Structure 1
């Protein structure tokens, strides 16, 4: 090619060879060339076709609400299986009896346990009422003692006043007697002087002496009366103190008895509450011997069998599938795709056992798929290393099949942005994530449709 070699290129005439002339003359050779050219042109055109990016996932059919999912019925108490009222496949309404168990704990063997506890409650209530009456009687007694004390103190106070007045009266009388004594003494001295002078007879002197002695006797008597009055005053005041002490002791004793009765009343009230609690618990426990259906549905499987078998608290007895439920699909996506999903995004779903033709990049050409909307995205990774996404039927599209069973397999495709085929191939080869775009809300999609 660089014209370095001196050798000359020899020209070969193809027409000189019979085989070459035969091959070039074959008609299907030309057709094959046209087919190859057509395929090449088609492949180039396909590279520019629109391709809808998507996120694929796999899961199974479930229910939209947790209360509509299959559940197991448990026994709240331990017991012995005595009788079955249902069998597998039966339809039960809410509250229908599924199983009857008998008691196995010795604390509850008494068939009249509830009635006995009720009688104990009534007895304690009567005792509580008697304590209440005792407290009331002691309060009345304390009130009576208070009134009696008040009257006694008023009586003693009046006596003190009387004693004070008596002391004042005796003091005045004593002063009057003292005055009489001074007068009698003066008169006696004057009579003696006059008798010496011969002006008064001796009889007058003797008379004055008698009056003087009488006045002296009266003053002693009046002093004794005054001292007695003062002593009565002291006794009256002492009586007030004695009354206060006496009734304080009586009221204190009644108050102590009242507090003792109140303490017994509160203790009895606590015992009544405890017995009432036991009575309610025993009554509720009696209702737990019959295990009933929590909601209407079908008995899928009996998890316990036989008669006479003992079960513990919380043991699963049967599995029930609710009769009314709203189906949904629980699918799982890779962590790299999680940021591209949000609530309300459109999803295509197809189910195991239903004929489908799926073109992931051209959802409009797929057959047998159903529309859905993302209603919940779990933000915590599942044990399988993926994130759980809950999908509900899209009300704007055809309804999902009614024959779907809970637990059936399902495949999902979340629709993202639309790009050329060549871009999608280039993205996949380089391991880049799908384009993120802000999808329209369901309300806007309905308006556009």
Structure 2
């Protein structure tokens, strides 16, 4: 397939990069595979950082994609703790932070995303946190345990998935939690007002306080420590620690420096790639959180920041680098666990794209499936404490056929009977 003199380089040591390296070997690539990681840890998965590991239910070693010995056995050359600082597409070289210059025949950018920072006074105080890396989770895990023991207060800026999952973890430790969110419900831009309130009720039942319709404007400190936060409506909330959970920004600096096409932040940001995850340079691909791909099924450019996209996108990019005919059209998918609620979401239904939300099951008991429809066609579905249906939901999305909303809402009608 490929001669042994070729070198494929992967920049980014997350799930997408690690799975791409694994796939290259599984597909028979016999050349050099070099994986560049700016963290000192071996590649790991991020969902446990706000779920099982943060809750203290999973051990540290459980987060890693592969056992450390895997990389040597697979002849994958690891550069740990070394950021890529310069990309020269003309020369096809990558320079690392220590000055090492690496030449490549094909390159994969899997640089991921980084937490957006709060632009307010007080962010330099001790007790202000982000959650993206394993080191962040290790620190936050200790903080939550301490807050629980001392009846301390955690203020979370942002009611997205990370904010809500950390809130659930904090309450499990016994910490007091306040969430500040400018929208009227949690997850407003993802689930809309129809189902965002479900998560308000869930967390309120577990003692979380919400402050909606407000922005955090200042973190107040004393002797270098957090003591409270203020919002733009004049409120002040006690706090011992603050978590910024206001989203993530794709790490596109290397691509921009190299002159690759990138997407404006207003349109979601990321490195622009085609359906084969190929950038504007034919020798460079991108995958995972950083890739804004032309999606053949959804007929839009889309950047997805979730585990399943990294899990599947890395291998797809690797196969495309090997010259295989790839059209990456996976239905977007993510999952979340909060208290006794488990959910899976499939599809893409941004605000304004749907005209109806239909539920089957018991919303009050939090055992149901919700469907976002446009002219009867399923754009997205979320199953809450109902299992083994995500595949059927994705088939309905792929079919693109108009459905009878009454049948979709009727639990006695099998989802499989609605498939073409």
The TM-score normalised by the length of structure 2 is 0.17
Structure richer in helix, relative to its length? 1
In terms of fraction of residues, the more strand-rich structure is: 2
Instruction: Give the number of the structure with larger relative contact order, counting CA–CA contacts within 8 Å between residues 6 or more apart.
Output: 1
TM-score by length of 1: 0.16
